[in-house]
Structure 1
């Protein structure tokens, strides 16, 4: 009897082992499906600090370079090691992105680079994780790419009549950091203006030479203090005009190409009447 019981017990143990093994290997057990990323092209992400930012399909942050204000990539000769270019031939699948603002440019070496509002797009090599924005503000000329800047900064050579000028309007080479609209078009101040007062625009005909820059106060590059931005009403033409440090902002109509900055030559001496609006400009004088 004892031998019989032992045999039956052994059989039950073997049966349990077989059942357990089968259960562990059962293909009928539910499994978690892998996450599939169906994003293509440029995407929009929400960042706690910067708000809406441009990313690649995997959520990695993209950047604008102020030296590219003219729309031509200038990050070359090793610069790309720190700032790899971004390119995607795919149309964006993000329904919230304005697809009309997306384009591409061919670099000097023949490679292609994606653009937004004409600005070539880059990564920052120091961004390791998805959502990192460590490249913003580097050198005062690299900024997270956003779809809603009110204005941007150019880091460019001032040139007029084939002559180069410095930031002090002396003849010579050297880049100047100045304000542009959000598509890289140069913005100017009118020297006789007062803080928050447009003294130039007397009517629409006159505005044709120096159009006012109309924009809401949205967002600005991190190098710009947002409280330095304002909006005034120009009664003579019933338009809103953006100001920086109290200076009303203007375009110069003969700046026909993106990146042109010829308006500073208007006047007796360069920069005396219509200076480009530099980032480090002094506050406009009170009335």
Structure 2
């Protein structure tokens, strides 16, 4: 009888140990399930790959007009594109938390951001996982954590003068390429297809830094096959290209959204003739 009781007690202890072990493992699960999720999450879509969602799986979007980091979708725009905000830190361990932030809108409301881009919902997405807002107007794109390029839809300005997309003096937004954080990218007019003719030294590279990036993903408005990577031998760096044009930053664009580089030119040249921004309709860079 005593032996029987000891055996039963040992079995109970073993079961208890397994239960405690399982409970501990569940508490350390890096991907909380269901309602335990908080903040921005990552989801995988068959067409778009990795995308940002809220905790319930509702898709989030970037707005090209917000390249400078300031929310510009207001009033009636918000009916179709409600803002997204969560004060909770993301529980998704695959998300780069350093890229998550928030901005205070002009009316005092807060809005969550990723890589400085304010995040929105699309009213046309009726259910979790739907992505019907991508590409709307050529300026709304599903929010992704791995874009190599983005698009800005903004006023071109240099020396406090506004320019149109044809570099005539005047007001009007231009859609052009930026890096993944909204910093303006330029071409150098004398360059050839896949050939950087400007960067001959580290000093030059310090003035017009090359844009280093691997080709990961691009917004749906950009044809991915138009994007490539070259090696700049003089500085031993990789440089992204668009339609064969090597891409550069301008050192004096001190904040995202600045596009002052268009005015850098010889005295007798036209604005945008030497260092133009890269528009989607840019011609293919000439062969050597």
TM-score (norm 1): 0.87
Superposed, which structure 2 residues align to 1:57-136 within 5 Å? 57-136=55-134
**2:146 paired with 1:148:** yes
Count of aligned residue pairs for this structure pair: 253
SS in 1 for 2:248: coil
Superposed, which structure 2 residues align to 1:233-244 within 5 Å? 233-244=231-242
Query: Counterpart of 1:183?
Result: 181
Q: Which runs of 5+ in 2 are unaligned?
A: 1-32
1:219-245 CA distance string (max 9 Å, x none)? 000000000000000000000000000
Q: Which runs of 5+ in 1 are unaligned?
A: 1-34
Query: Counterpart of 1:43?
Result: 41
SS in 2 for 1:37: helix
Query: Counterpart of 2:275?
Result: 274
- Residue 274 to residue 145, structure 1, CA distance change in 2 (3 Å): same
Query: Counterpart of 1:253?
Result: 251
Distance 1:172 1:63 in 2: 30
Distance 1:208 1:36 in 2: 49
Q: Tell me which of 216, 219, 222 is aligned to 1:218.
A: 216
Distance 1:282 1:212 in 2: 20
Distance 2:68 2:281 in 1: 21
SS in 1 for 2:175: strand
1:4-23 CA distance string (max 9 Å, x none)? xxxxxxxxxxxxxxxxxxxx
SS in 1 for 2:35: coil
Distance 2:83 2:139 in 1: 16
Distance 2:109 2:76 in 1: 15
1:27-73 CA distance string (max 9 Å, x none)? xxxxxxxx951100000000000000000000000000000000000
SS in 2 for 1:77: coil
| Consecutive aligned runs of 4 or more in structure 1 exceeding 6 Å deviation | none
Query: Counterpart of 1:166?
Result: 164
**2:286 paired with 1:285:** yes
Query: Counterpart of 2:228?
Result: 230
1:129-163 CA distance string (max 9 Å, x none)? 11000000000000000000011000000011111
Q: Tell me which of 190, 193, 197 is aligned to 1:192.
A: 190
Distance 2:147 2:255 in 1: 20
Structure with greater Cα Rg: 1
Query: What is the root-mean-square deviation of aligned Cα atoms in Å?
Result: 0.8
Distance 1:129 1:262 in 2: 42
1:76-123 CA distance string (max 9 Å, x none)? 121000000000000000010000100000001000000000000000
TM-score (norm 2): 0.87
